Amino acid sequence: MKIQCLLLDVDGVLTDGKLIYTSSGEEMKAFNAQDGLGLALARRSGLRLGIITGRTSPMVERRAGELKFDFLRMGSSNKSEAIRELMKETGIDASAIAYMGDDLNDLGAFAMVGLAIAPANAVTDVKNRADYITQASGGCGAVREAVEYILKREGVWNRLVEDYEREIYAYGQ
């Protein structure tokens, strides 16, 4: 079935998994710009985007807003339940969902979806259950690689690249 929705974990997928705290106790996260453009391409192709994470973070909320994510579920200790809620809200079948995660708490989601993706830095048990493993690690272009994999598989990648070529050409005149 054609993938209609890409759901992502955050720590270890959209970020490198490091938890950095300032001396005042504030948390910091770093996101990859190429992942961001990849997600913009995914949206442009018609994919719906979502985040399901066990943690709550204003930085994640900001990034999800910047990239116009359709779904944001923070503080979600049961990711399978969050996916069931999204399926009920949207009518999207589990087989049309891709999910990218890196650790044991993502295995329930992996068992539900049509395409399970792990970044290179995922733990062994997650990699063993993934349909696709990126060469890049989380926070280092893994999400971009996963998006390219999905869009190439769906046959829309070349059209999106050609759209950018036309835009660059148009701006150059």
The predicted-structure confidence for 74-113, as pLDDT tens digits, reads as follows 999 899 999 999 999 999 999 999 999 999 999 999 999 9
Compute the chain's Rg from CA coordinates.
16
> CA dihedral in degrees (122, 127, 131, 132; nearest 10)?
50
CB 30 within 8 A of CB 139: yes
What confidence category does residue 19 fall into, taking pLDDT thresholds of 50, 70 and 90?
A: confident
129: nearest Cα among 150, 92, 103 = 103
| Selected residue with higher pLDDT from 148 and 58 | 148
The pLDDT of residue 170 is 55
Residue 168 pLDDT > 80, yes or no?
no
CB 45 within 8 A of CB 151: yes
| Selected residue with higher pLDDT from 157 and 17 | 157
Sequence-ordered alpha helix ranges (H) in 27-123: 33-45, 58-66, 79-90, 107-112
Give the sign of the dihedral formed by CA 84, CA 86, CA 92, CA 94. Answer: negative
CATH assignment of 5-171, among 3.40.50.1000, 3.20.20.70, 3.40.50.1100, 3.65.10.10: 3.40.50.1000
pTM (2 d.p.): 0.92
d(CA 6, CA 150): 9
CB 111 within 8 A of CB 89: no
